[in-house]
Structure 1
């Protein structure tokens, strides 16, 4: 009998919940959220991420194990998809200002399909009120200090050229929760050379700075714009760098 895997069947509400979770998890594995051979989050974290019970997560993982896409040993479950290892260069971290989560800290990331802020729409060449993929990130220490908030809007070019980002258009209408930490890596794998321009300015009357990042490709097409607000004490600073396309 031929083996059936989540990606062989269209995702419908008629399918069991565990099958839909298996399909969503497979999408994240393919996006590179977990690198090939990397360890998956625990059942509790996956249950919270997808908003389901741990039993549903166990059933979803069993589907992926049966398909040879996930392996489980005493250390936990691991992705077995083939592909290049994740790049760890700090310059590839998305969004700008993202940092590893420490115990007790807040680290939230969501996506939505909506009209971006007007200044973002102008920078990306979007018509007013035209929706696009908007990513929001918030981080704070366990004591509530060191808060960072970032809002990123992606251009039509980025969504057309980068398959991993395009998949989030429909997913943003469902759970809305997403970590896009490999967004820059996905862009480079799509053959895009990334030119970053970061402008850092102090916010008047507040011990914070705003960092505005604009990213273009080798054809000067806008890919994304991010506004990050973080507690700091700095004067204005502008710097630029370029990341070549992968491979």
Structure 2
């Protein structure tokens, strides 16, 4: 069976079609349609977007690579223009509910390589009893009345795409301290756009609340799920968001 290849539209300004596509793509990079540092859509998507063949897209990307405006690694191509990193406007602390540096609080964080809870396994798309990286966080004030405990399970996608997380597998013994406060920064550096959903519920009649955070990337792949339990008798959860001005 003969294989057909889409034909590019005729040139309109004397330049090769791939130069035109490179210019259009550069405009989208500069105006923030594709944020700096974020992975570019695949060749097939770009070909449909610009109405050209995939070969023309490859040539256009090569033009941008030669000029240093696009970089390509094993995770794909991404823009290297100066600008705000992906998701910088939103402040995300890992794990959800982690306190700012407080000399009065006693914090402990460790990681283990174990099968997560059934609820976490289902949310991450893991087979039952399949182990993964599990992070445990505990913070308490000296009087013991302000206690926070959080359990986070990471998905296979997060461990495969984020090198800094993957390295913890060999030292996940449950005893070695493991502060992963930069986990979200590592994910963004790996080219992942982070979308999170936080659900807050009261725990029965107790003066406690439960916060469940689910994080997925731009491809709707789950990255992590965290369950935080807060003794809310004298405590408060503070969520801080910053929205950039229009234009």
Q: How many Å apart are 1:175 and its aligned residue? A: 4.7
Q: How many Å apart are 1:93 and its aligned residue? A: 1.2
Find the aligned partners of 1:89 and 1:106 in 2 and give their Cα distance. 30
3-state SS of paired residue (1:121): helix
Which residue of structure 2 aligns with residue 118 of structure 1? Answer: 118
User: Do the aligned residues in 2 keep the contact of 1:104 with 1:142 (CA within 8 Å)?
Assistant: yes
Tell me which of the two structures has the higher relative contact order, counting C-alpha pairs closer than 8 angstroms and 6 or more residues apart. Answer: 2
Q: Across the two proteins, how many residue pairs are aligned to each other?
A: 151
User: Do the aligned residues in 1 keep the contact of 2:134 with 2:153 (CA within 8 Å)?
Assistant: yes
Which residue of structure 1 aligns with residue 171 of structure 2? Answer: 171
Which residue of structure 1 aligns with residue 202 of structure 2? Answer: 202
TM-score (norm 1): 0.57
Which residue of structure 2 aligns with residue 109 of structure 1? Answer: 109
3-state SS of paired residue (1:142): coil
1:109-141 Cα offsets, whole Å, 9 max, x none, are 000000001100000000111000000000011
Runs (5+) with no aligned partner, structure 2: 1-86, 234-238
The 5 Å alignment of 1:80-95 reads 91-95=91-95
Structure 1 residues 125, 208: CA separation in 2 closer, same or farther (over 3 Å shift)?
A: same
The 5 Å alignment of 1:1-247 reads 91-173=91-173, 175-232=175-232
TM-score (norm 2): 0.57
3-state SS of paired residue (2:91): helix
3-state SS of paired residue (2:122): helix
User: Do the aligned residues in 2 keep the contact of 1:124 with 1:155 (CA within 8 Å)?
Assistant: yes
Find the aligned partners of 2:109 and 2:189 in 1 and give their Cα distance. 23
3-state SS of paired residue (2:205): coil
Q: How many Å apart are 1:174 and its aligned residue? A: 7.8
The higher radius of gyration belongs to 2
Find the aligned partners of 2:174 and 2:144 in 1 and give their Cα distance. 29
User: Do the aligned residues in 2 keep the contact of 1:92 with 1:185 (CA within 8 Å)?
Assistant: no
Find the aligned partners of 1:118 and 1:216 in 2 and give their Cα distance. 18
1:130-165 Cα offsets, whole Å, 9 max, x none, are 000000000011211210000000000000000000
Structure 1 residues 114, 208: CA separation in 2 closer, same or farther (over 3 Å shift)?
A: same
3-state SS of paired residue (1:176): strand
3-state SS of paired residue (1:144): coil
User: Do the aligned residues in 2 keep the contact of 1:112 with 1:176 (CA within 8 Å)?
Assistant: no
1:6-31 Cα offsets, whole Å, 9 max, x none, are xxxxxxxxxxxxxxxxxxxxxxxxxx
Q: How many Å apart are 1:101 and its aligned residue? A: 3.9
Question: Over aligned residues, Cα RMSD in angstroms?
Answer: 2.6
Which residue of structure 2 aligns with residue 12 of structure 1? Answer: none
